[in-house]
Amino acid sequence: WGLCSKWLRPGYVPQRGERPWDVEGTNALLTCFRHRFSEGVWLFGADNLLVPPSVVTKWHQCSRDWAARVYAFAVPNAAALRAIHSLPKRTGVVEVGASTGFWASLLQEQKVQVLPIDAAPPAAYEKFTEVCQGAARDLGAPRFKAYNTLLLCFPSPREGDGDSMADDALMTFTGQYVVYVGEWATGMNATLSFHEELRTNYELVKRVPLPQWGQMCYDLRIFRRAVPPAKAKPAASQLWKCDHCGKEAGPRSMYRSKVLRQLMICSQECLDQCSSWHEALQLVGHWPSMPSTLDQFHPAIFADAKSALTAMEALAAITPNENRS
């Protein structure tokens, strides 16, 4: 959201040569996203649209799901790739749960030494670079000791009582940096213990906004292992920061709508000031209604969802025709 918010503000005049999304290399997923975004603006802004908005919204969601299967769940941009590239060059990056290897392939184009691994590597025709066989628990093996940065892109939440890939990776990784691409403590990615480990024993170095599919609120965060762990910053940090006024506070002081999840706010005043942003989001293919009072929001804390199915059912229960938050 932070990447495109200024472009949606009424009266904003782009600077010369400025673009909403900077494209470098062969980033086909970002190109796909830009087309879907532009089409959403046109379709929802058309005066004589013959199909109901709910149909257009579902079509937009299908595009997101298809892109996630073919490329990746999160859309990388040039700023994210540069942030990873800027990390100390002494050692490389190991990506756990690399899936198709799309993020890894773009990093390799930027001359980043990256090793993508996955417990079930894709077939040759499905991957963008070579993805090696490997699981999160394997990071303790000698061959991974040379990698100082761990990359996790959209790790899934724990399924029932099973193991968590994100937790296993964080517990066995011995390097200094963790690059986490996903939603922060919403229940859609990883586990509560994973987020608590990052919050407690790591320091947030950088946060990079990413292009957002509808109803998503992910970004890229770079963490550095705190030495000693007790020096890690408390919860009142940029991990929970109001998207309007910039106030930093704990999770229970921030609020997020169940509908337009991109915005995290701290007060009714900030919600009122963001009304034009909400209207702009509705015009680009997101939910057509938005709660107007803070009591219709929920605290931006980790959702108590024990599985990905529970979290997805919670989102699926909210349809474009409903006016609830």
Which string of DSSP letters, residue by residue, matches 127-171? -SS--EE--GGGGGSGGGTTEEEEEEESPPPP-TTS--HHHHHHH
Q: Is 293 exposed, middle or buried (0-12, 13-18, 19+ CB in 10 A)?
A: exposed
- 36 against 161, higher pLDDT: 36
Higher pLDDT, 242 or 25: 242
53: DSSP letter? H
The predicted structure's pLDDT at residue 11: 52
Residue-by-residue DSSP string for 196-263:
HHHHHHEEEEEEEE----TT--EEEEEEEE-SSGGGS--SSEEEEE-TTT--EE-GGG-EE-SSSTT-
CA distance 166 to 156: 8
Q: Is the pLDDT of residue 10 over 50?
A: no
Find the mean pLDDT for residues 60-77: 89
3-state secondary structure of 78: helix
Beta-carbon contacts of 253 under 8 Å, excluding residues fewer than 6 positions away, are 240, 266
Beta strands in 63-107 (DSSP E): 92-96
Residue 5: half-sphere exposure toward Cβ, Cα within 13 Å: 15
Q: Which residues contact 45 (CB under 8 A, 6 or more apart)?
A: 283
Closest CA to 45 of 321, 282, 290: 282
- What pLDDT, on the 0 to 100 scale, is given for residue 1? 38
Lowest mean pLDDT segment, chosen from 105-109, 138-142, 212-216: 212-216
Count other Cβ atoms within 10 Å, centred on residue 200: 14
Determine the average pLDDT of the residues in 317-325: 38
Share of the chain above pLDDT 90, in %: 36
Q: Which residue in 3, 153, 184 sits closest to 78, CA to CA? A: 3
- CA-CA distance, 36 to 285, in Å (whole number)? 9
Confidence class of residue 17 from pLDDT cuts 50, 70 and 90? low
Residue pair 283/42 in contact (Cβ under 8 Å)? The answer is no
CA dihedral 325, 268, 198, 81 (to 10 degrees): 80
Q: Residue count of the chain, please give it.
A: 325
Cis amide bond preceding 234, omega within 30: no
Write out pLDDT tens, residues 169-205.
999 999 999 999 999 888 889 988 899 899 889 999 9
Contact 166, 190 (CB under 8 A): yes
Rounded to whole angstroms, the Cα distance separating 106 from 77 reads 10
276 contacts: CB under 8 Å, gap ≥ 6: 9, 10
Domains of the chain plus CATH, in order, are 78-240 (3.40.50.150), 242-316 (no CATH)
Say which residue, 213 or 144, is predicted with more confidence.
144
Backbone angles phi, psi at 197, to 5 degrees: -65, -45
Residue indicated by tokens 């603006």: 41
